[in-house]
Structure 1
């Protein structure tokens, strides 16, 4: 039986009474709800009632070992399966032909190869959750210091809001395509946003409950879509006549590959957020494999479906795509089933909620990771702010979805590439058991004077940005060049994320070694 709000507040008074002489009340990990309530005088009764109603109070505080949950780790793969077996992965496969004119076979090969690379990177970051008991952005403090964590948090806030914006747009467009003229896309965007918000307000447990089962309905709907697409007629050679050849083909593959890599590594900055409550002795390899397959299988399955749908040459289907983009094409594929097809379309539109929940949840955590003044504000407040931001952005940018999606994912791949490299080198080189630092002193996660100064991490990140700038080749969905860096122009292709990773990898090791030698931390 849950405690009543009155008992909760009374318990809070007793608990906080023993903390009067504690200078760093925020760092008390055992009872973040009681600490937060203490900071808000007139709002204390309201906050106490919310927390007593199972609204999650825990934010970016470390999860103590004695409060970890020994739940079936298999739930981890089910979560990622739900998050990525969603409709908004289909437009990624569509981009292979609509933007880069790749044939079906080359689209599939690119999705598989660049997807595997991105899944490996994200799965590594996921292993750090049980090891540290920390959220992903807080883990960066051990490589880039307090200031570096703040910078990464800002980048991640923009990343999650960007993902959420594209998600609500595609979901809203899908809902408006179910019965054209009856539901404006603006209303559809708001519906998707609100449905994504509710589990995130309640927090970690509610998120996992929803994601544990959401994939079942969506996977069934995707199988229907595969079958009806086959009935309409897949022609895997349809793009062959318009596909580029030689160097231009290589450029198309690299450009599309950067988008696929960004799609996979877009989860890296939040990968540890959803398993930091697993016991510290959870085998890292098990976490790695479950996360890898939870990402790789569904994203490839749905992305390849998008590429396959673009091979349908029936004029009615081609016209549906030209007039209604991906949503119009899918609606046409389901049209033979009449009202039942419309029902499947509703389920596919609502599937994006599962994808948007982690974006919304982790955006709030990244806002808390900006520093102590932000961390003491309840997580649910930041979640509400994130919801408002991406819903407004979705309404404003709904007419430019293809441009937003393609350019956003490529830019995303730049910073996640050097972020992953820096965190990995810190973990495997400097924090290894017999390394210079001998592991993580996890009690230091919120003490700037005991964390790295951050110069090495920040400078290596700057070098990564430089690599991305000179290697990028950004273009609009009409293939008009927006910006091309000198090496990108020399190669004639998008190599921004590759250079970002290489530049950071080469510079971080010596810079960090020097930082440790001079500061000892």
Structure 2
């Protein structure tokens, strides 16, 4: 596993001397106190001091087979979790899909989204920059331009905090069910949040160690769940509605599963910045794809199975009325105390999903501007945990609505960005020019971003016109079926794909960059 070195010159070390001279003596004294406090905290052993700075090649390490395997284990641990089981439940429960339809949509949607996240992961070793930092410092400055990239950085923070909210909420539901309701969902949610905070505040080294082993108890617990609950899966349920309605629901659920996987794309390279530039891109892609894809397929299929059982099993249906976490625990019924122990493992497994999102969100806050960059990563980690914990407590009775609306909406912009990035890479960079990573801070050598921003906005317009959510149904989505179908990802990507190449060609011809 790759360990990272300490960098006591990281962000959060306080303002420059010149700025201190312009402040009052009281302000300067306050700043010095905060600086000393930050230096004392970052001196704690194993706590990562580095923030958004690029990792120089001198601090990176040789890569071997174990490091490539670490990529897969990291992403497998992150996604073999209860929140993705709850995502799979939406197929039969919310979209009225049969077992086969829901299983196929979950499988192919998850794999397609995993491919997008794996592609973005390949940029970490190449540049030494985090992806969202790439969105401000490297990759997206080349794809989107300087200012438009900040929009993506802000949206990534929303994704990561949203995932934190869902993780804490599902974990709280399972813990509450284990305690037979004697522990409230509020208390369970806070427990998951505190454990996440205790790990993520230390940064990358502890995070990699945790993710290397976290998948083992999760996989054991879920294999037992398959054996315990599998006989009660109803694989014979069929999709409800006429042909147009079923087709629309299939597409909507596939898009939702795609969104759940591709949401990792903006953070895909955050965890590879200590890998050397010689790291093989195809190996990085393959190992990341396997980690995300295998975990999500297994978890969502398990969710589809649990949801199918609610149609024929009254106890399961009653548990689902309480919460998705209660339904997961009901799958262990008959195992007594051992089943409750496994339920605790499943609930705490959500920490593995929550840690990378919180880590990336804390870096995202630093990206937004110089004021955010002055505050250290550990501080923003604390703020991130507080924000999504409060949101989870406020939305604890609306998990399915949060899943359906939040994931789909975030999937729109991520897939549009991926489309622009792929076209810039394959059509305009690869044949003629590569990426000069040393020019990341020189605006005169970076694209203006006019073409990418215009394509991004046009793609968003297409997504809005074709989205199908509780709060809004686009005019085109209404035409797809009687109950609507979520076409946002597909139309948004296609519109951006069509308009970006000619606009980028004009931009290069006019400005040469």
TM-score, structure 1 normalization: 0.89
Name the structure 2 match of 1:314: 313
Task: Quote how far apart the aligned CAs of 1:468 are.
Answer: 0.2
Task: Quote how far apart the aligned CAs of 1:448 are.
Answer: 3.3
Name the structure 2 match of 1:51: 42
Contact 1:149 1:370 in 2 (8 A): no
Specify whether residues 421 and 319 from structure 1 end up closer, same or farther in structure 2 by C-alpha distance, changes over 3 A only.
same
Contact 1:145 1:453 in 2 (8 A): yes
Name the structure 2 match of 1:277: 274
Specify whether residues 189 and 447 from structure 1 end up closer, same or farther in structure 2 by C-alpha distance, changes over 3 A only.
farther
Match runs of 1:175-190 below 5 Å: 175-190=175-190
Contact 1:30 1:64 in 2 (8 A): no
Deviation per CA, 1:47-97: give whole Å up to 9, x if none: 222222132222222111121123522101000000011111111111001
Name the structure 2 match of 1:123: 118
Secondary structure of residue in 2 paired with 1:37: coil
Contact 1:143 1:422 in 2 (8 A): yes
Whether 1:41 and 2:32 are equivalent positions in the alignment is: yes
Name the structure 1 match of 2:53: 61
Gaps in structure 2 of 5+ consecutive residues: 16-30
Secondary structure of residue in 1 paired with 2:13: helix
Q: 1:94 aligns with which of 86, 89, 96?
A: 89
Whether 1:488 and 2:477 are equivalent positions in the alignment is: yes
Name the structure 2 match of 1:368: 366
Mapped partners of 2:405, 2:108: distance in 1? 20
Specify whether residues 67 and 101 from structure 1 end up closer, same or farther in structure 2 by C-alpha distance, changes over 3 A only.
same
TM-score, structure 2 normalization: 0.90
Name the structure 2 match of 1:463: 458
Name the structure 2 match of 1:74: 69
Deviation per CA, 1:292-330: give whole Å up to 9, x if none: 1111111110110111112222222222222x2221222
Mapped partners of 1:334, 1:34: distance in 2? 47
Deviation per CA, 1:264-286: give whole Å up to 9, x if none: 10100100111121110111000
Whether 1:519 and 2:498 are equivalent positions in the alignment is: no
Contact 1:149 1:369 in 2 (8 A): no
Contact 1:126 1:275 in 2 (8 A): yes
Gaps in structure 1 of 5+ consecutive residues: 1-28, 476-481
Name the structure 2 match of 1:394: 392
Task: Quote how far apart the aligned CAs of 1:463 are.
Answer: 0.7
Q: 1:330 aligns with which of 328, 331, 346?
A: 328
State the superposition RMSD in angstroms.
1.7
Name the structure 2 match of 1:216: 216
Q: 2:302 aligns with which of 302, 305, 318?
A: 305
Specify whether residues 32 and 376 from structure 1 end up closer, same or farther in structure 2 by C-alpha distance, changes over 3 A only.
farther
Name the structure 2 match of 1:267: 264
Whether 1:440 and 2:435 are equivalent positions in the alignment is: yes
Moved more, 69-78 or 222-231: 69-78
Whether 1:353 and 2:351 are equivalent positions in the alignment is: yes
Match runs of 1:494-505 below 5 Å: 494-505=486-497
Contact 2:173 2:323 in 1 (8 A): no
Mapped partners of 2:493, 2:118: distance in 1? 17
